[in-house]
Amino acid sequence: MVTHESGAVHAHAAPTGFIWKYIFSTDHKIIGIQYILLALVSAFVGMFLSVLMRIHLVWPNAKLPFIAGGVMTPEQYLALLTMHGSIMVFMVLTTAPQSGFGNYFLPIQIGAADMAFPVINMLSFWITFLSLLVMLAAFFVVGGAPISGWTAYPPLSALGEIAGPGQGAGQTLWVIGVAIFCGASLMGALNFITTTIDLRTKGMSLMRMPLTVWAWFLTAILGLLAFGVLLAACILLLLDRTAMTSFFIPGGLVITDQQVAHKGGSTLLWQHLFWFFGHPEVYIAILPGMGVTSHMLSTFARKPVFGYRAMVYAMCSIGFLGFCVWGHHMFVSGMSPYSALAFSLLTMSIGVPSAIKTFNWLGTLWGGQIRFTTAMLFALGFVSLFVSGGLSGLFLAQPAIDLYFHDTYFVVGHFHLIMGVAAIFGMFSALFFWFPKMFGRHLNEPLGKLHFWITFIGVYAIFMPMHYLGMAGHPRRYSDLSGANFLGPLMPVQRFISIAAFLTIAVQFIFLINFLWSLKFGKKAEKNPWEATTLEWTIPSPPPHDNFAGVEPVIYRAAYEYAQPGAVEDYVPQHLAPEQVARAR
C-alpha cells in the first residue's frame, strides 16, 4: 500500500486563460487530448500517403494530386512509403495508445490528481509536436523526403545525396526528428513509471490495478529501455552523415563510380540497435490495446476478467521476451546463423503468453451477458485481428521459412494486422468507451457501428491477401510491378487490395464526422453510463481540473467485480465501502 504525505490528491488550482489552460497546459487530461488529436491528424496524413501509393501501384500512369510532375516517380513512391511508416509508427501507434489515453486515464484510474511531473508531461507533448514538424519538413527540402524506409538501413541512409534523392537534407531531418521523438518518449516513460509507482491511492495495490494501468505501466518500462537505444543509434547515424564518422559505413564502398571516404564501420550495428528498439516498439503499440481489450470485454460481458493474474504475468513476459527477440528481423542479414536459432526459439515462445491472453479473453466472454456497444465491437475485433496477425508471426519466427518470406508482402500483411490495425482497433474501442468521460457527450452509436463494420471487413480485405502475395514471393517496397515477370499475374490481387483500401479509408471520414459532430451535439453523458467499476466512472463527465476535487478515493476491491453473487447491482465499483454495497436478501 502506498501512503502519502502531501498525498496523491493535492488540490491545485485550475489555470486561467486560454493559453495555459489548453495550449501549454500541465493538466494530464488536456495533454492526453492533445496527444490524441496529434495522432488523429497524423493518422489521416499517413492514410493519405498510403492512398497515393496504392493508386500508383495499380495505375502507374495516373496523374496524382500533391505529386510534383503529376505522375509518381520511384523515388517519390519510396519517400511516401518512408513517411507513411514513420508517421504511423511514431506519431500514431506510439502516441495515441500510450501518451494519449494513458495520459488521460492512468492517473484517474489509480486515484491521482495528475501525473507525477506535470511540467515534464507538457514538455513531452510539445517536444513530440516539434519532432512531427521536423519530420514533415523533410517533404519540403531539396531532394524531398528520405527513401530508405522507416527502418533507415545504412549505408543507404548514411551516405547522403549520392545514395539517392531524399537522402540529403530529407534524411537528416528524419534522423533529427526521430531523435527528438526519442527524447520526448523517454520523458513520458519516466513520468508514467513514477506516477504508477508513487501516486496510487489508498488500497490500490498492484493486483487491484485495472489491466489498462498495467499495460500503460509496462509499456512505459519498454519505452524507457527501447527509446534510449534508438536515440543513441540516431545520434551515431547523424554523426556518420554530418561529421564523417564511420559507425555504420564500412571501408571500400563505391557508389555510382565514386569512392566513399568512410571506413571501418558496420552496417549490421545499426540493424542490431534499431531492432533492439524496433521489436519492443511493436509491444509499445499493442500492449495498451491489450489492456483496453481486457477492460472492455470484462465491462461489457459483465464479468470479471478471466485469469486476471495470468493476464498480468502474460503481459510481463511479453514485455520481457520482447527484448530478447530482435534478431528475428535479421535472419537474412548475414548475422551468425547460430544466433538465429536462439532468436527463433525465443520468438516462438512469445506465442505462449499471446495464446494465454487470447484464451483468457475467450474465457472472459464465456458465461457473460454481452452488450454490443461500439466500444465492445472494436474490442472483439481486436481479439480476432490479434489471432490472425499473431499466428502469421509463427511462420516468420522460423528462420528457414523466413528465408523466403523476409521482405515480402507476407511481412507487410503480418505487421499491419497485428501492430497497425489491432492497435488502432484498441484505440477506437478506447475512444468510444471514454469519449463520454472526456467530453461529457457520447459518440453516435449507429454511426460508430457502421464505421466498425466496414472497417473490420475492410482491413481483412486489405491485409489478408497480402499474405498470398508474400507466398508468391512478391517483394515489398517495390514502386512498380514491371520490375519482375512473376509480379504481373499478381496485379489483380494488388487491385483488389487497393480498392479495399480506398473504401476502408473513405469510411474513416464517417468516424471523423462522428467525432466532430458528437463533441457538440452528442448525447449527454452521465457519470457512469457503462455501469463500470473503475475510478474514472466515479467523477463527473468531463472530470474537474484536479480529478477527485481534493478527496483521495479509497479502494476496497479488485478492478473487475462484475456479477458478484449476492450483490443487487451486477457491478461493484472499486471505491465502494463494503457497508455501502447493497446486498440481495
Partner 1 sequence: MRRKKACAGSTTVAVSLAIFLVIFTAITLYTFFAKTWWFPDPITTFGRDIDQQFLRTLVITGIVFVLSQLGLAWVIFRYRGRGQRAQHIEGNLTMEVVWTLATLVLFVGLGVYAERAWAEVHFRSAVPGAVQIEVTGQQFVWNFRYPGPDGKFGRLDPKLVNASGGNPLGLDPTDPAGKDDLVVPVVAVPVNREVELLIRSQDVTHSFFVRELRLKQDAVPGLLIRIHFSATQTGQYEIPCAELCGLGHYRMRSFLTVMPQADYDKWLADQAAANQ
Residues 150-209 that bind partner 1 (CB under 8 A): 153-156, 159, 163-165
Length of the chain equals 585
Q: Which stretch binds partner 1 (CB under 8 A): 278-286, 331-339, 432-440, 506-514?
A: 331-339
DSSP H or E stretch at residue 389: helix 374-396
Q: Give the 3-state secondary structure of residue 52.
A: helix
We find the least distance from the C-beta atom of residue 130 to partner 1, in angstroms, to be 28
> Using CB under 8 A, which residues numbered 554 to 573 contact partner 1?
562-565, 570
> Could you say which residues in the range 481-540 bind partner 1, by CB under 8 A?
482-486, 490, 493
Q: How many amino acids of this chain bind partner 1 (CB under 8 A)?
A: 116
Q: Which position among 383, 431, 462, 505 is part of the footprint of partner 1 (CB under 8 A)?
A: 383
DSSP-derived secondary structure letter, 569: S
Region 236-265 residues binding partner 1, contact defined as CB under 8 A: 249-257, 259-260, 265
Q: Least Å distance between CB 370 and partner 1? A: 5
369 is a site residue for partner 1 (CB under 8 A): yes
- Min separation Cβ 266 and partner 1, Å: 7
The reply to whether omega before 155 is within 30° of 0 (cis) is yes
The residue (of 22 and 313) whose beta carbon lies closer to partner 1 is 313
Nearer to partner 1, 101 or 562 (CB): 562
Considering only residues 367, 540, 544, 550, which one is a binding residue for partner 1 as defined by CB under 8 A? 367
Among 337, 488, 521, 577, binds partner 1 (CB under 8 A): 337
The footprint of partner 1 on residues 443-482 (CB under 8 A) is 449, 453, 456-457, 460, 464, 468-469, 471-473, 475, 477-480, 482
Output the smallest distance, CB 319 to partner 1, in A: 17
CA distance 94 to 88: 8
- Minimum CB distance to partner 1, residue 33 (Å): 28
Amino acid making up residue 154 = P
Residue 264 CB, nearest approach to partner 1 (Å) = 9
CA distance 358 to 352: 10
Among residues 126 and 153, whose Cβ is nearest to partner 1? 153
List binders of partner 1 among 405-424 (CB under 8 A).
406-408
Is residue 53 within 8 A of residue 502, CB to CB? The reply is: no
Q: Of all helices (H) and strands (E), which one includes residue 103?
A: helix 103-109
Convert residues 291-310 into a mask of x (bound to partner 1 by CB under 8 A) and - (unbound). ----------xxxx-xxxxx
Q: Which of residues 51-90 bind partner 1 (CB under 8 A)?
A: 73-75, 78
Judged by DSSP in three states, 258 sits in strand
Site for partner 1 in 266-285 (CB under 8 A): 266-268
Minimum CB distance to partner 1 smaller for 7 or for 74:
74
Q: Enter the C-alpha cell of residue 295.
A: 477492460
Q: How far is CA 176 from the centre of its chain?
A: 21
Span near partner 1 by CB under 8 A; candidates 121-129, 134-142, 339-347, 431-439: 339-347
CA distance 278 to 268: 14
Binding partner 1 (rule: CB under 8 A), the pick from 2, 67, 332, 454 is: 332
Query: Which one of 205, 372, 544, 551 is in contact with partner 1 (CB under 8 A)?
Result: 372
**Which member of 340, 422, 532, 576 binds partner 1 (CB under 8 A)?**
340
Residue 215 CA to residue 225 CA, distance in Å, equals 16
Q: Say which residue the cell 545514395 belongs to.
A: 163
C-alpha grid cell for residue 290? 491489450
Quick check: 373 and 432 in contact, CB under 8 A? yes
List the beta bridge partners of residue 524. 441
Stretch that binds partner 1, among 15-23, 43-51, 335-343, 509-517 (CB under 8 A): 335-343
How distant, in Å, are the alpha carbons of 111, 409, 563 from that of 473? 52, 8, 51
Q: What is the DSSP letter of 486?
A: G
Task: Check: CB of residue 297 under 8 Å from CB of residue 379.
Answer: yes
Q: How far is CA 210 from CA 386, 420, 576, in A?
A: 21, 24, 16
The set of residues, in sequence order, having a beta carbon less than 8 Å from that of 44 and lying 6+ positions away, is 508, 512
Q: Which is nearer to partner 1, 245 or 358 (CB)?
A: 358
Q: How far is the CB of 22 from partner 1 (least distance, A)?
A: 35
Q: Which is nearer to partner 1, 191 or 294 (CB)?
A: 294
Instruction: Identify which of residues 17 and 252 has a Cβ nearer to partner 1 in the complex.
Output: 252
Q: Exposed (0-12), middle (13-18) or buried (19+): which is 119, by Cβ within 10 Å?
A: exposed
- 456 alpha carbon, distance to own chain's centre: 18
CB of 71 to partner 1, least distance (A): 15
